[in-house]
Amino acid sequence: MTASLLTRLRRSDEVTDSEAVRLAGAVSRMESFAPRATVCRAHVPLDVSKLLIDGFVSRQCTLLDGRRQILAIHVPGDFVDLHAFALKYLDHDVVALTTARLAVVPHEQLREITDSEPHLTRMLWFATTVDAAIHREWIASLSRSAMARVAHLFCELRARLEVVGLADRSGYALPLTQIDLADATSLTPVHVNRTLRQMREAGLLDFRAGRVEIGDLDGLIRLASFDPRYLYLDRTAR
Amino acid sequence: MTASLLTRLRRSDEVTDSEAVRLAGAVSRMESFAPRATVCRAHVPLDVSKLLIDGFVSRQCTLLDGRRQILAIHVPGDFVDLHAFALKYLDHDVVALTTARLAVVPHEQLREITDSEPHLTRMLWFATTVDAAIHREWIASLSRSAMARVAHLFCELRARLEVVGLADRSGYALPLTQIDLADATSLTPVHVNRTLRQMREAGLLDFRAGRVEIGDLDGLIRLASFDPRYLYLDRTAR
DNA sequence: CGAGGCCTTGAACCGGTTCAATCCTGGTGG
DNA sequence: CCACCAGGATTGAACCGGTTCAAGGCCTCG
């Protein structure tokens, strides 16, 4: 169950077998969600956190005028609402974008890990600070052009999915709608559509039928000015 | 030195005297910075983190076209680059917006705290997840109108400064330029200026001479649709 | 007293939005 | 088996919030 999380953590630091066992043992059960189903709601006290096994989920909030803002998109291996362990409730909703399976980890288990496994604790802390780094990159991304924003999102998802073996240089499965992309980039669906057409015509990328087909990864990276260092994928003792 | 950090942490949970002593003992020295001085630079390995004692500092990055994007504004009591303890380097620069004093905490000390003080560790972890929550709120804010964005920034700073006794309902000192506000809201200085004029004419707020004078806090909160729950200022065991 | 920042205001411009219509596709029920 | 329907994708045209460019004004500091 925790295989993809381990793959991710091991990309950034060494994880001992006993730590891996500890983590696997912390999972109490699995949960499945249909597309659009709410995984957890803002401002509701939580005593579990959830690890995404497969599918895509988003952190999102609903603005006053009813528009949905996607704050982050999570991929398999992400400990989606680990923040809730420290925060005790979330400030946003977590919603399934596709069919999704998540492993449930009671905070009681996390509490015991923090009491007895300092290194594992630092790894989990690390995972939440990477989330924060991704948020910052989104803030910077939002101040750029529509093309750059959309390209950046595709580059980021590619890099993160590659870590868990779900993407390569040529593309990846991404069963989202243009509306999802619009809500994630703060653009209108209409403009996302035009932007995708431009990218297709430029031979950069073709997003169709739930799949991202990358024509020119280097061009895409340049367009997005994507620098993956903010994902902290290099290996260092933590 | 750690008084304002303690005030902040104690707002969210109980901190024992021995924990407070441990935290105070972790500070190795003080550093002062002039306005615009760089506190730490992106992508440079770090072995200390810094706690803001007084003044304002920003997390920021420079976009390809030379524009500066402010990703966060920190107020006294904030453990500005605590993230670097987990990340080992930062993905952005930290720059003094005003004259600023910071307390330096070696990662070695933080390491020892994580090894022997689980509750204090969770408190520090908590502090970084609140930073992430603030980032998310900025993402949502950026998708709204110029008025709402600027109003939201003023509301947030007021709420955070109030915790450490540096603001009340009527206003607070904020020695930033309109250019700083522009870079923090992804607006142009020209438009920030027009927005501030509108807010002044509406009797909501007067930002002049390095001070925010609030005329109608409730109106401002409404305009910003500011909901302070994302700052996690309620007291809970963590 | 001159220079450099910052603030302020006007006018033209433009990237992205809004509104509206049409197409396409997969799923459903008769 | 096919008509129908709903949700998403696509395209055109008018519009608008915020940008850009340009010109002063004001204040502080050397």
> Is the Cβ pair A238, B61 closer than 8 Å?
no
Which two tokens mark A230?
């903010």
Per-residue model confidence (pLDDT) at position B1: 79
Give the number of residues written for chain A.
Answer: 238
What are A3-44's pLDDT values in tens digits?
Answer: 999 999 999 999 999 999 999 999 999 999 999 999 999 999
Mean pLDDT of B3-30: 96
Distances (CA, A) of A18 to A22, A71, A85, A139, B111: 6, 34, 22, 38, 21
Of A71, A129, A137, the CB nearest to B86: A129
B130 pLDDT higher than 90 = yes
* A&B contacts, CB < 8 Å: 128
What are B193-229's pLDDT values in tens digits?
Answer: 999 999 999 999 999 989 999 999 999 999 999 999 9
β-pairing verdict for A29-33 and B100-106: unpaired
Per-residue model confidence (pLDDT) at position B56: 98
Of B61, B86, B121, the CB nearest to A114: B121
Distances (CA, A) of A2 to A92, A176, B82: 25, 24, 27
Per-residue model confidence (pLDDT) at position A237: 85
Percent of chain B with pLDDT over 90: 96
What CATH class does A140-231 carry? Answer: mainly alpha
Which two tokens mark A53?
């096994």
What are B75-128's pLDDT values in tens digits?
Answer: 999 999 999 999 999 999 999 999 999 999 999 999 999 999 999 999 999 999
Per-residue model confidence (pLDDT) at position A172: 98
Asked if strand C comes closer than 7 Å to B197 Cβ, the answer is yes
What are A190-206's pLDDT values in tens digits?
Answer: 999 999 999 999 999 99
Percent of chain B with pLDDT over 70: 100
Per-residue model confidence (pLDDT) at position B90: 98
Mean pLDDT of B20-35: 97
A2 pLDDT higher than 90 = no
CA angle B114, B117, B123 (to 5 degrees): 80
Q: Collapsing DSSP states into helix, strand and coil, what is residue B53?
A: strand
Residue boundaries of the structural domains of chain A: 3-109, 140-231
The residues of A between 187 and 226 with beta carbon within 7 Å of nucleic strand C are 187-188, 190-191, 194
- Best CA proximity match to A63, nearest among A156, A183, A153: A183
Q: Pick the residue with more confidence: B192 or B64?
A: B192
Per-residue model confidence (pLDDT) at position A73: 98
Mean pLDDT of A166-185: 97
A238 pLDDT higher than 90 = no
Question: Residue A209: which pLDDT band, with cuts at 50, 70 and 90?
Answer: confident
* Among chain B residues, CA nearest to A187: B143
Indicate the CATH number of B3-131 among 3.40.50.1000, 1.10.10.10, 1.10.8.60, 2.60.120.10.
2.60.120.10
Residue nearest to nucleotide C8 (CA to C1'): B193
B238 pLDDT higher than 90 = no
d(CA A61, CA A184) in angstroms, rounded, equals: 11
Per-residue model confidence (pLDDT) at position B237: 85
Distances (CA, A) of A24 to A81, A105, A113, B122, B215: 17, 9, 12, 21, 55
- Distance D10 C1' – A211 CA (angstroms): 18
Mean pLDDT of A218-227: 98
Percent of chain A with pLDDT over 70: 100
Mean pLDDT of B144-169: 98
Mean pLDDT of A135-159: 98
- Distance D9 C1' – A178 CA (angstroms): 8
A57 pLDDT higher than 90 = yes
Homologous superfamily of A3-109 in CATH? Answer: Jelly Rolls (2.60.120.10)
Per-residue model confidence (pLDDT) at position B81: 94
Per-residue model confidence (pLDDT) at position B229: 97
